[in-house]
């Protein structure tokens, strides 16, 4: 059977996609029942898996970005709902450019922009096993000479995976066909600022900080906008005390895009020999992966 390769070119539309694995514990809770804090969960193959919503990921990426360079766009509640102000625009407000907006004005209807940077939920790769922590506010109760209030918290420590996609062609543009509102250099810097946050992502929850830094990452810049590795990250179990990633799925997924695909990993964490199992994909440390990816982003906008 003849094999077809996807031709990459700066004349084609550009899409960046990354699928990531990180290790975290109990990072997103739902509404809860009574005195029980319930993790957000979904069912697959008759097993429960915890997940971190895309809204939570968006919030923490925005939080870290905004701490470093104040990217927030002006908001308004004039229409009775909190939303972006009519003054918000993609040229001056990075938040509106990256994450999209909806603006409503009287007699003019709604103006919307879909997000350029998109996230899937981060879903655990290991099933939830009903681990529950029992606790109480003994110290506070003792200090006011009252009875403590007991509560229960669901806990789950697992590897998680999520996918990020960035529509490179729409950065700095209201419409893909129009001229950018900012320079190509500024467009590249906006994308690279998101990559910097993904590399060091964390989440503050219930008095602790969870580390979402990538342990494994695969993806690249492609001529076709497609989240290639979404749903393709699986574990094979534990070998010699280390988690093993199913590289057969990754190899099959990347067959037509291997020249544009890279992977990064934390050495010593996984049992896999990635250079041997995925020999046609460039493999390196997490730091080198992001450095090379930034060069590809610069190269894309230099040729745009």
The pLDDT tens digits for 216-267 are 999 999 999 999 999 999 999 999 999 999 999 999 999 999 999 999 999 9
Each residue of 158-187: pLDDT tens digit?
999 999 999 999 999 987 678 899 999 999
Q: What is the mean pLDDT of residues 5-16?
A: 56
Q: What is the mean pLDDT of residues 83-109?
A: 85
Q: Are 100 and 112 in contact (CB under 8 A)?
A: yes
Q: Is 204 part of a structural domain of the chain?
A: yes
In this prediction the pTM is 0.90
Q: Is 7 part of a structural domain of the chain?
A: no
pLDDT given at position 107? 67
Q: Is 3 part of a structural domain of the chain?
A: no
Percent of the chain with pLDDT over 90: 71
Q: Measured at the alpha carbon of residue 94, what is the angle toward residues 295 and 214, in degrees to the nearest 5?
A: 50
Domain that holds residue 260: 15-302
Going by pLDDT thresholds of 50, 70 and 90, the confidence category of residue 4 is very low
Full 3-state SS string of 269-294:
CECCCHHHHCCCCEEECHHHHHHHHH
Residue 9 has pLDDT above 60, yes or no: no
**Cβ density class 145-172: b for 16+ within 10 Å, e for less:** eeeeeeebbbbbebbbbbbbbbbbbbbb
Q: Is 78 part of a structural domain of the chain?
A: yes
Least trusted range by pLDDT, from 27-36, 74-83, 280-289: 74-83
Say which residues have a Cβ less than 8 Å from residue 183's Cβ, sequence separation at least 6: none
Q: Is 82 part of a structural domain of the chain?
A: yes
Helix (H) or strand (E) holding 142: helix 138-143
Q: Are 172 and 190 in contact (CB under 8 A)?
A: yes
Residue 10 has pLDDT above 50, yes or no: no
Q: From CA 137, how far away is CA 111, in angstroms rounded?
A: 48
| Number of structural domains the chain divides into | 1
Q: Is 111 part of a structural domain of the chain?
A: yes
Q: Is 10 part of a structural domain of the chain?
A: no
For residue 155, the SS3 value is strand
Q: Are 102 and 84 in contact (CB under 8 A)?
A: yes
Q: Is 85 part of a structural domain of the chain?
A: yes
């Amino acid at each position: 059977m003849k094999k077809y390769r996807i031709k990459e070119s700066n004349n084609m539309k550009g899409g960046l996609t990354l699928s990531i694995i990180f290790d975290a514990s109990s990072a997103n809770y739902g509404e809860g029942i009574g005195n029980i804090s319930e993790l957000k969960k979904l069912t697959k193959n008759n097993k429960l898996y915890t997940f971190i919503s895309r809204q939570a990921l968006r919030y923490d990426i925005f939080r870290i970005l905004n701490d470093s360079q104040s990217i927030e766009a002006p908001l308004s509640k004039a229409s009775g709902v909190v939303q972006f102000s009519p003054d918000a625009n993609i040229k001056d407000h990075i938040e509106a450019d990256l994450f999209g907006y909806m603006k409503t004005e009287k007699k003019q209807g709604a103006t919307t922009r879909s997000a350029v940077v998109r996230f899937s939920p981060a879903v655990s790769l290991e099933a939830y096993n009903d681990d529950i922590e029992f606790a109480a506010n003994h110290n506070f109760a003792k200090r006011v000479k009252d009875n403590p209030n007991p509560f229960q918290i669901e806990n789950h420590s697992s590897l998680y995976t999520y996918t990020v996609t960035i529509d490179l062609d729409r950065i700095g543009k209201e419409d893909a066909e129009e001229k950018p509102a900012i320079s190509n250099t500024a467009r590249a810097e906006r994308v690279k600022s998101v990559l910097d946050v993904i590399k060091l992502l964390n989440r503050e929850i219930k008095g602790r900080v969870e580390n979402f830094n990538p342990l494994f990452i695969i993806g690249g810049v492609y001529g076709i906008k497609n989240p290639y590795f979404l749903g393709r990250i699986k574990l094979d179990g534990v070998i010699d005390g280390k988690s093993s990633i199913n590289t057969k799925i990754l190899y099959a997924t990347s067959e037509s895009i291997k020249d544009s695909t890279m992977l990064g990993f934390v050495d010593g964490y996984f049992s896999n020999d990635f250079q041997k199992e995925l020999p046609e994909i460039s493999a390196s440390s997490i730091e080198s992966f992001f450095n090379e990816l930034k060069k590809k982003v610069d190269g894309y906008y230099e040729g745009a």
